[in-house]
């Protein structure tokens, strides 16, 4: 938690100092009020006091109240500024960090968890700071100050207050001790309940097809009952809290008054009035002391939750970024070549290689296709080129230079990457197609051409000119998304195209037209294609067959069909012998 | 006692609440649903009201206590005047003169006079003086006589059995008004015993009091008087000292403790009842929602997002439960407190009551002004936060594209823009929500001071006692506190209204038509014929029918394939077969029996269905494969998995078949699909539906799986939906669908010969 406070800069620190001063001011004024209160009490009690005195003291008290209000408002203002600024900076830091993450780190955290860490967790910490600036500063100051005010005034009363604080804190402590672990359980059970409901909803057709409605409901009810019992248990314990608190507070006042009565009774006449006004003042201060301890208790209730959030944030911020930017950004001798030299890759903790000892070279204008069964490492291989992962052994060269030496920006400028799952951003079609920053500005004509080649023209034309694609492209279909995603790569005019199984959502007809058009347009560009369909790969200049991370065949369709067993099996599972041989 | 702040700060931002469409209606519905709990709610409300009434009574008692204690501060002036009168009466001239004459008992016998005249010790002058006095009978100037003569005429004597020595008499004579010096024996005679309020004041004490009294002047300050009183004899002090009725004080304290205990007990009981009630109600609601999910027709889920239903199960139900638990009873107790305090204040003192109400009103006027303005900031904050979170989600999930297209700068720019906007609106909304509490405090203090000042004025005029002021100090707090709680309670009641509207809207959704006059088909005896008889089907809200007048006869054991581009309506056929949707016209017959006469449950039991979605739930591999089937042995599970080809993979998992499957595990999409296929194959049924069941599996694995399935489904009627045309080439009947219509049907060869849509689709695989 403390580590995160490094994100507070000098300006924030000075704001916090101002905050502290305002809090001290407001506490001072708040504690000054009982003094005026007692003065007023005295004046009212003693015969012959002047009305003007009461008015003056009343005015002072009101002034104190107003001053304290003003100070608290200022504190609130600075608190809001500090916590909002802090949250802004922290979010920015996390966002920047995540942007630099490679896929390996993203995989480690999971995208959803990263989103939660950047949003909810930061909000938790922000709330603590917002509240903490007020309470955390105020409570101790208040407690100490109020204690010094009453300290030494009367031993019996101090003792009564002490006992009350001990009782309250132990009640809170015991309740918390019992309840807090169950809070976590409630959270878990709620997640579980959500999970089961989501399960039932997403698998509704399966559930119904298997007549498993009762099965799901039974599962739901078990968790539902457990959740209800746990919440009920907690609430029953909490039901004790308020009555005990009121009882203790009222009890303290009563005890002070009762002992006060005896003290007054036994005192000399001269002292009686003093003891009486002391009693009134003491009882209000003792409530202040108790209140400030309660405030502290509240903070300690929020603290654990914020602590968890803070450590989750720190996990992200402390992650070392594996992919380091290079500094090569000059012109290269070769253009449009990709070469793998004995490349192997495995995840840090894994024993087995995902890709093992792969070597090949693609020349300018050539098309290389990768085929293999699920989990054979095709996607991973292609992901090594834009450095989504870095190789474990060997090297990947683009235009004759190791990818690790490139400045990431200039490396990316050479590449047109189309992912397996099309990614759409909130914005117009044009924005999506001309996304990002490349060496040259993408003209309007270029965008239209790209859309045309990607076979997206017919549906794009149907859209409103100002048509905005919703977040994640939820308002267009999967195939449409994929076509726009391809158009995005075309508009960039890259040296090297990377298609990571990018045609899977298209039907055969669109697929083949698109590829034909693309071929015409990208004559000079190098293409690397990952695919499952034989039809997609069979016309490539070079086909690399992968099996369990190893290259088991390389060559043209006919070569492989004859020589490579794995390839032939894949091919035959899709097309008939005649079709393959005639192709 | 200031009671403010005793509520724990709640994590609820004011103004964030949404409003129901029809508040009254939603409340009516909510309370109708709660009718089972009517009695409990009533008890809780009564307890809450009682608790409030007790806390209103308490300040009154407390003011009595303060009054009793402050009685211990005021000197008993009544006794002072009565004592002073009695004592001064005793030394009034008339009676005193006679008494003194009697006390002195002057002896002027012939013998004594002679003795004086003849005495050598007495000078002539004194003798003459004595003579003068004797002759004039003016005894008041006796004191001018010298001791020598006095000692002759005064003798030790008894008065009322009190011995008065010669010396005492001389002292008495010598003492003057200025220098009062009365010997003790004489004191006893003059100041005979005085008993006030049962306390005996000795003659000595009376005498001392008299002396003290004489030292007062009209200008004496109270402090000086108090000091003098402290120096007075105990008996006098006891009489005139401030009197405190300790018994009464203890009595009030005990009464108050009992009151507090009861009030605490009431609120505890009330909280327990409400907790039981609200959780019971929430539990029931969730159960009903979960049950409802399985009763709704599938078409409902076409139009509603699962996230929306999910949020009804958790957020909305939670909202209702929370409101019931906290707001309902607090609303009742606040209202009681508010009205009760108002009445009590009016009864106690109407001037003070108006002061308190007036002061609070000023504050609330201020607050409502702020609240009105704050709404827009809260809304703005929500929107900006939504934008930022949306952007974060977008960039994180598309991170590879962002990187590959050097979109970082663009993403950063947008992020900074959104982030700044969130920060700005955050500052405003946080600041405003932070204003509430201090303003409430100020209102309390304002009321306090006003009550003090007005109270002091009234006390000075003698209209009220100090206790009334103390009572009002508390009333002001009690009065301002419920107002904000009522406002808070109403807002949360509104949110609960909106939440309950959503929940009940869902629970009121039309369920699937109930099935009557049903026949049942025995799964083991079904032959497997299916015929479609002029089936037409239109999705709700569509103009064009998705299936239009479709007829086909399918014989037992045939393999039917449905092909066509995405969105052509292939899955609709399956949905109709499974009776997930009701057909508009026509009929589907299984073994000659209309599906209209079969229960959905019966139909479902006849089909084994494997879908494209690899639906796995949070549970072990084994649980996922067995699902809801009972009495499935481990051997069967292993055998099926082996046949499907996942056995090897499962064995490599840490705990084998007992490994818990979670999202984002190392289980790939293909492996997930194989597990769902295994699930489908656990139990054999006469019909098999494969809806893109192998689309995530690579073609080689697919072939193996299909082979395994073929083995099991031998002799079964099967429906296969597939993208890959190679899989379905050997089907007995191929249904070709395009944009909602069955455009062609026949075998592969027939369709190829036709050279229509199918042939075109098929050939496109090989085009360059």
Q: Which of A19, A417, A574, A582 to mutate to test the interface with B (most CBs of B within 10 A)?
A: A574
Domain-located, residue A486: no
Q: B566 and A258 in contact by Cβ < 8 A?
A: no
The torsion defined by the Cα of A188, A189, A195 and A199, in degrees rounded to 10, comes to 150
Together in a domain, A151 and A273: yes
Distance CA A190, CA A230 (A): 11
Average pLDDT score over residue span B587-595: 88
Residue A168 neighbours by CB under 8 Å, 6+ apart: A244, A245, A248, A290, A293, A294, A297
β-strand B687-691 against B607-610: which pairing, if any? parallel
**Chain A / chain B CB contacts < 8 angstroms:** 473
Q: What is the pLDDT of residue B18?
A: 61
Together in a domain, A19 and A131: yes
Rounded to a whole number of angstroms, the distance from the CA of A468 to the nearest CA of chain B is 15
- Partner B contacted by A176 (CB < 8 A): no
Together in a domain, A308 and A405: no
Q: B404 and A372 in contact by Cβ < 8 A?
A: no
Residues of B in contact with A509 (CB under 8 A): 565, 760-761, 764
Domain-located, residue A295: yes
What distances in angstroms separate CA A545 from CA A358, A366, A370, A419, B642, one per listed residue?
A: 11, 17, 6, 20, 27
Partner-chain residue, chosen from A45, A91, A203, that has the shortest CB–CB distance to B419 = A91
At B285, give phi and psi (nearest 5°): -60, -45
Contact A276, A154 (CB under 8 A): no
Residue B106 pLDDT > 50, yes or no? yes
Together in a domain, A151 and A59: yes
pLDDT in tens, B108-161: 777 777 877 777 777 778 888 778 777 777 666 677 777 777 777 777 778 777
Sign of CA dihedral A186, A191, A197, A200: negative
Q: B566 and A478 in contact by Cβ < 8 A?
A: yes
Distance CA A159, CA A232 (A): 36
Q: Which of B250, B258, B391, B396 to mutate to test the interface with A (most CBs of A within 10 A)?
A: B396
Together in a domain, A217 and A295: yes
Residue B618's pLDDT band, with cuts at 50, 70 and 90, is confident
State the total domains in chain A.
2
Q: In chain B, pLDDT over 90 holds for what percent of residues?
A: 4
Structural domain span for residue A546: 338-423+497-581
Q: What is the pLDDT of residue B696?
A: 62
Residue B665's pLDDT band, with cuts at 50, 70 and 90, is low
Residue A538's closest CA among A567, A499, A577? A567
Contact A526, A363 (CB under 8 A): yes
Chain B: residue whose CA lies nearest to A96: B412
A227-241, B539-553, B576-590, B696-710: least confident range: B696-710
- Better-predicted residue by pLDDT, A376 or B414: B414
Partner-chain residue, chosen from B3, B456, B699, that has the shortest CB–CB distance to A44 = B456
Together in a domain, A60 and A94: yes
Residue B767 pLDDT > 60, yes or no? no
Please report the residues numbered 422 through 461 in chain A whose beta carbons come closer than 8 angstroms to any beta carbon of chain B. Answer: 423-426, 435-438
CATH number for the domain harbouring residue A113? 1.20.1560.10
**Cα B376 off chain centre by:** 25
Q: What is the pLDDT along chain A (583 residues), one digit of tens a residue?
A: 777 887 888 888 888 888 888 888 888 888 888 778 777 767 766 666 677 887 888 888 888 888 988 988 888 888 889 889 999 999 999 999 998 888 888 877 877 778 888 888 888 888 888 877 777 788 888 888 888 877 777 788 888 888 988 988 888 888 888 887 887 788 788 878 888 887 888 788 888 888 888 888 999 999 999 999 998 998 888 888 878 888 888 888 889 888 888 888 887 777 777 888 788 778 878 887 888 887 777 777 777 778 888 888 998 999 888 888 888 888 888 888 999 999 998 877 666 788 889 999 999 888 999 988 766 788 889 989 999 888 989 999 999 899 999 988 889 889 999 987 788 888 888 888 888 877 777 888 888 889 888 888 877 877 766 667 766 666 677 778 888 899 999 998 888 999 988 877 677 777 788 888 888 887 788 999 988 778 788 888 899 998 878 888 899 988 888 888 888 888 877 776 766 666 5
Q: B613 and A203 in contact by Cβ < 8 A?
A: yes
Number of H helices, E strands in chain B: 30, 16
Distance CA A364, CA B226 (A): 113
Other beta carbons within 10 angstroms of residue B510's beta carbon come to 9
Together in a domain, A263 and A372: no
% helix, strand, coil for chain B, step of 5: 65, 10, 25
Residue B3's pLDDT band, with cuts at 50, 70 and 90, is very low
Residue B209 neighbours by CB under 8 Å, 6+ apart: B83, B84, B87, B201, B232, B233, B236
Residue B179's pLDDT band, with cuts at 50, 70 and 90, is low
Residue B14's pLDDT band, with cuts at 50, 70 and 90, is very low
Together in a domain, A402 and A501: yes
Distance CA B317, CA B567 (A): 36
Of A282, A317, A352, the last residue of a domain is: A317
Domain-located, residue A168: yes
Average pLDDT score over residue span B631-655: 82
Partner-chain residue, chosen from A215, A417, A507, that has the shortest CB–CB distance to B566 = A507
Distance CA B275, CA B44 (A): 10
Domain-located, residue A544: yes
- Partner B contacted by A96 (CB < 8 A): yes
Of A317, A346, A367, the last residue of a domain is: A317
For residue B161, what are its two tokens?
């059995």
Residue A328's closest CA among A222, A255, A407? A407
Any idea which residue has 């056995």 for tokens? Answer: B647
Domain-located, residue A571: yes
- Partner A contacted by B340 (CB < 8 A): no
Q: What is the pLDDT of residue A44?
A: 67
Together in a domain, A44 and A187: yes
ipTM of the complex: 0.83
For residue B376, what are its two tokens?
């827009």
CATH number for the domain harbouring residue A501? 3.40.50.300
Together in a domain, A224 and A136: yes
Residue B275 pLDDT > 80, yes or no? yes
pLDDT in tens, B350-402: 888 888 888 888 877 877 787 777 777 877 887 888 888 888 888 888 888 88
Report the 3 state secondary structure along B526-575: CCCCEEEEEEEECCCCCCCCCEEEEEEEECCCCEEEEECCCCCCHHHHHH
Residue B516 neighbours by CB under 8 Å, 6+ apart: none
A359-368, B415-424, B708-717: least confident range: B708-717
What distances in angstroms separate CA A309 from CA A128, B6, B516, one per listed residue?
A: 11, 28, 55
Distance CA B232, CA B208 (A): 7
Distance CA A463, CA A476 (A): 10
Q: What is the pLDDT of residue B16?
A: 41
Rounded to a whole number of angstroms, the distance from the CA of A295 to the nearest CA of chain B is 8
Q: A239 and B268 in contact by Cβ < 8 A?
A: yes
Which strands, in side-by-side order, build the sheet including A338-345? A355-362, A338-345, A393-398, A401-402
Q: What is the pLDDT of residue A339?
A: 93
Q: A48 and B65 in contact by Cβ < 8 A?
A: no
Domain-located, residue A454: no
Together in a domain, A154 and A17: yes
Any idea which residue has 């942007």 for tokens? Answer: A99
Average pLDDT score over residue span B198-220: 74
Number of H helices, E strands in chain A: 21, 12
Please report the residues numbered 364 through 423 in chain A whose beta carbons come closer than 8 angstroms to any beta carbon of chain B. Answer: 372-376, 383, 386, 388, 408-409, 412-413, 415, 417, 419, 423
Distance CA A135, CA B9 (A): 11
Contact A501, A379 (CB under 8 A): yes
Average pLDDT score over residue span B534-550: 77
- Better-predicted residue by pLDDT, B448 or B428: B428
Rounded to a whole number of angstroms, the distance from the CA of A219 to the nearest CA of chain B is 10
What distances in angstroms separate CA A46 from CA B109, B218, B760, one per listed residue?
A: 62, 18, 109
For residue B485, what are its two tokens?
């709680």
Average pLDDT score over residue span B222-246: 75
Partner-chain residue, chosen from A202, A254, A423, that has the shortest CB–CB distance to B615 = A202
- Partner B contacted by A570 (CB < 8 A): yes
Domain-located, residue A479: no
Q: What is the pLDDT of residue A497?
A: 92
Distance CA B457, CA B404 (A): 80
A385-389, B196-200, B535-539: least confident range: B196-200
Domain-located, residue A346: yes
At B742, give phi and psi (nearest 5°): -85, 105
Mean pLDDT for all residues in chain B:
79
Q: In chain B, pLDDT over 70 holds for what percent of residues?
A: 88
Any idea which residue has 């944030």 for tokens? Answer: A313
Contact B529, A440 (CB under 8 A): no
Together in a domain, A354 and A271: no
Residues of A in contact with B452 (CB under 8 A): 37, 40, 44, 54, 58, 61
Residues of A in contact with B430 (CB under 8 A): 76, 79-80, 83-84, 130
Distance CA B678, CA B639 (A): 9
Coil, helix or strand for A468? strand
- Better-predicted residue by pLDDT, B166 or A507: B166
Q: B404 and A199 in contact by Cβ < 8 A?
A: no
Q: B627 and A260 in contact by Cβ < 8 A?
A: no
At B631, give phi and psi (nearest 5°): 70, 30
Highest mean pLDDT among B58-72, B630-644, B727-741: B630-644
Coil, helix or strand for B217? coil
Rounded to a whole number of angstroms, the distance from the CA of A422 to the nearest CA of chain B is 9
- Better-predicted residue by pLDDT, B6 or B330: B330
Other beta carbons within 10 angstroms of residue A147's beta carbon come to 18
């Amino acid at each position: 938690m403390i580590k995160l406070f490094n994100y507070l800069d000098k300006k924030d620190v000075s704001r916090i100092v101002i905050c502290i001063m305002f809090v001290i001011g407001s506490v001072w004024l708040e504690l000054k009020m009982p003094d005026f209160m007692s003065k007023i009490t005295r004046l009212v009690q003693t015969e012959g006091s002047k009305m003007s005195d009461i008015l003056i003291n009343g005015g002072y008290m009101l002034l104190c109240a107003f001053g304290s209000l003003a100070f608290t408002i200022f504190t609130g203002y600075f608190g809001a500024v500090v916590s909002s600024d802090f949250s802004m900076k922290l979010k920015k830091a996390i966002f920047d960090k995540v942007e630099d993450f490679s896929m390996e780190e993203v995989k480690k955290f999971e995208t959803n968890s990263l989103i939660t860490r950047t949003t909810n967790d930061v909000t938790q910490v922000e709330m603590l700071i917002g509240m903490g600036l007020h309470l955390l500063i105020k409570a101790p100051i208040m407690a100490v100050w109020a204690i010094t005010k009453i300290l030494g005034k009367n031993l019996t009363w101090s003792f009564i207050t002490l006992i009350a604080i001990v009782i309250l804190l132990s009640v809170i402590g015991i309740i918390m001790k019992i309840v807090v672990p169950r809070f976590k359980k409630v959270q878990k059970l709620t997640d579980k309940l959500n999970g089961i409901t989501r399960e039932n909803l997403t698998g509704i057709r399966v559930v119904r097809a298997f007549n498993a409605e009762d099965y799901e409901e039974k599962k739901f009810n078990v968790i539902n009952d457990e959740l209800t019992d746990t919440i009920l248990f907690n609430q029953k314990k909490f039901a004790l809290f308020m009555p005990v608190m009121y009882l203790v507070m009222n009890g303290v006042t009563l005890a002070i008054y009762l002992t006060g009565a005896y003290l007054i009774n036994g005192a000399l006449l001269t002292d009686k009035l003093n003891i009486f006004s002391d009693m009134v003042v003491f009882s209000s201060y003792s409530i202040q002391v108790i209140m400030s301890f309660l405030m502290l208790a509240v903070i300690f209730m929020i603290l654990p939750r914020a602590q968890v959030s803070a450590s989750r944030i720190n996990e992200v911020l402390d992650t070392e970024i594996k992919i380091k930017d290079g500094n090569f950004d000059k012109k290269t001798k070769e253009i449009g070549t990709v070469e793998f030299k004995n490349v192997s890759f495995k995840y840090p903790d894994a024993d087995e290689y995902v890709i093992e000892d792969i070597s090949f070279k693609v020349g300018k204008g050539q098309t290389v296709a990768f085929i293999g069964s699920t989990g054979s490492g095709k996607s991973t291989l292609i992901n090594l080129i834009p450095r989504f992962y870095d190789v474990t052994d060997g090297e990947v060269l683009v235009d004759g230079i190791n990818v690790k030496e490139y400045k990431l920006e200039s490396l990316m400028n050479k590449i047109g990457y189309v992912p397996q799952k099309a990614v759409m951003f909130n914005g117009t079609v044009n924005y999506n197609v001309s996304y990002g920053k490349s060496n040259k500005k993408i003209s309007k004509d270029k965008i239209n051409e790209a859309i045309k080649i990607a076979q997206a023209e017919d549906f794009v034309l149907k859209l409103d000119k100002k048509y905005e694609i919703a977040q994640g492209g939820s308002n267009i279909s999967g195939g449409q998304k994929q076509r726009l995603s391809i158009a995005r790569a075309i508009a960039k005019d890259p040296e090297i195209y990377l298609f990571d199984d990018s045609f899977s959502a298209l039907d055969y007809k669109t697929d083949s037209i698109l590829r034909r058009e693309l071929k015409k347009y990208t004559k000079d560009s190098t293409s690397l294609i990952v695919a499952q369909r034989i039809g997609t790969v069979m016309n490539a200049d070079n086909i690399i067959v992968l099996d369990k991370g190893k290259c088991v065949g390389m060559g043209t369709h006919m070569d492989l069909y004859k020589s490579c067993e794995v390839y032939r099996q894949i091919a035959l599972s899709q097309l008939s012998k005649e079709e393959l041989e005639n192709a | 006692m200031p009671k403010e702040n005793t509520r724990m700060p709640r994590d609820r931002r004011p103004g964030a609440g949404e409003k129901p469409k029809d508040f009254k209606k939603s409340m009516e519905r909510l309370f109708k649903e709660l009718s089972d709990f009517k009695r409990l709610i009533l008890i809780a409300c009564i307890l809450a009201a009682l608790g409030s009434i007790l806390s209103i009574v308490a300040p009154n008692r407390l003011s009595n206590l303060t009054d009793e204690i402050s009685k211990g501060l005021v000197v008993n002036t009544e006794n002072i005047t009565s004592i002073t009168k009695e004592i001064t009466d005793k030394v009034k001239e008339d009676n005193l003169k006679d008494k003194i004459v009697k006390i002195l008992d002057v002896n002027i016998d012939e013998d004594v006079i002679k003795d004086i005249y003849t005495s050598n010790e007495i000078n002539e002058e004194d003798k003459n003086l004595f003579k003068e006095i004797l002759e004039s009978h003016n005894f008041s100037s006796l004191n001018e006589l010298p001791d020598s003569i006095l000692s002759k005429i005064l003798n030790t004597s008894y008065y009322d059995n009190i011995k008065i020595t010669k010396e005492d008499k001389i002292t008495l004579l010598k003492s003057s008004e200025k220098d009062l010096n009365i010997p003790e024996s004489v004191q006893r005679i003059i100041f005979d015993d005085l008993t006030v309020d049962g306390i005996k004041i000795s003659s000595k004490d009376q005498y001392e009091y008299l002396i003290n009294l004489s030292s007062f002047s009209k200008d004496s300050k109270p402090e000086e008087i108090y000091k003098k009183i402290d120096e007075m004899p105990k008996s006098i002090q006891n009489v005139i000292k401030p009197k405190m009725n300790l018994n009464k004080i203890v009595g009030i304290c005990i009464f108050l403790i009992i009151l507090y205990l009861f009030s605490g007990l009431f609120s505890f009981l009330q909280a327990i009842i409400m907790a039981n009630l609200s959780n019971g109600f929430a539990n029931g609601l969730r159960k009903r929602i979960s049950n409802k999910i399985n009763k709704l027709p599938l078409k409902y889920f076409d139009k509603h997002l699962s996230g929306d239903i999910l949020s009804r199960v958790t957020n909305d139900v939670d909202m209702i439960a929370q409101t019931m638990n906290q707001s309902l009873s607090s609303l009742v107790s606040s209202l009681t407190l508010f009205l009760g305090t108002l009445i009590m204040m009016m009864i106690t003192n109407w001037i003070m009551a108006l002061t308190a109400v007036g002061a609070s009103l000023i504050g609330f006027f201020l607050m409502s002004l702020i609240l009105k303005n704050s709404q827009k900031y809260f809304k703005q904050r929500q929107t900006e936060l939504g934008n930022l979170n949306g952007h974060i989600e977008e960039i994180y999930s598309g991170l590879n594209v962002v990187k590959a297209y050097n979109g970082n700068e663009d993403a950063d720019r947008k992020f900074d823009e959104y982030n700044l906007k969130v920060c700005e609106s955050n500052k405003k909304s946080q600041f405003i929500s932070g204003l509430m509490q201090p303003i409430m405090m100020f209102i309390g203090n304002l009321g306090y001071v006003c009550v003090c000042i007005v109270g002091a004025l009234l006390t000075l005029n003698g209209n009220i006692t100090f206790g009334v002021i103390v009572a009002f100090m508390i009333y002001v707090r009690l009065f301002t506190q419920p107002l904000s709680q009522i406002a808070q309670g109403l807002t949360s009641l509104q949110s609960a209204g909106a939440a309950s509207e959503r929940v009940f809207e869902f629970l009121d959704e039309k369920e699937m038509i109930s099935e009557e006059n049903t026949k049942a088909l025995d799964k083991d005896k079904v032959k497997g014929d299916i015929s479609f008889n002029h089936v037409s089907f239109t999705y709700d809200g569509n103009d064009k029918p998705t299936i239009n007048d479709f007829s086909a006869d399918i014989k037992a054991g045939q393999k039917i394939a449905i092909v066509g581009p995405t969105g052509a309506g292939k899955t609709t056929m399956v949905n109709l077969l499974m009776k997930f949707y009701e057909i508009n016209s026509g009929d589907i017959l299984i073994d000659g029996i209309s599906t209209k006469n079969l229960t959905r449950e019966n139909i479902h039991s006849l089909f084994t269905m494997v879908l494209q979605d690899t639906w796995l739930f949070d549970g072990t591999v084994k649980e996922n494969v067995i699902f809801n089937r009972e009495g499935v042995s481990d051997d069967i599970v292993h055998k099926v998995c082996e046949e499907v080809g996942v056995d090897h993979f499962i064995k490599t998992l840490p705990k084998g078949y007992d490994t818990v499957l979670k999202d984002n595990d190392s289980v790939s999409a293909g492996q997930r699909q194989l597990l769902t296929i295994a699930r489908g194959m656990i139990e054999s049924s006469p019909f098999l539906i494969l809806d893109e069941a192998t689309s995530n599996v690579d073609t080689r694995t697919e072939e193996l799986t299909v082979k395994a399935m073929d083995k099991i489904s031998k002799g079964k009627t099967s429906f296969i939906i597939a993208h890959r045309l190679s899989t379905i080439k050997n089907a007995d009947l191929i249904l070709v669908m395009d944009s909602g219509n069955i455009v062609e049907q026949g075998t592969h060869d027939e369709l190829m010969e036709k050279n229509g849509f199918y042939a075109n689709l098929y050939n496109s695989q090989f085009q360059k």
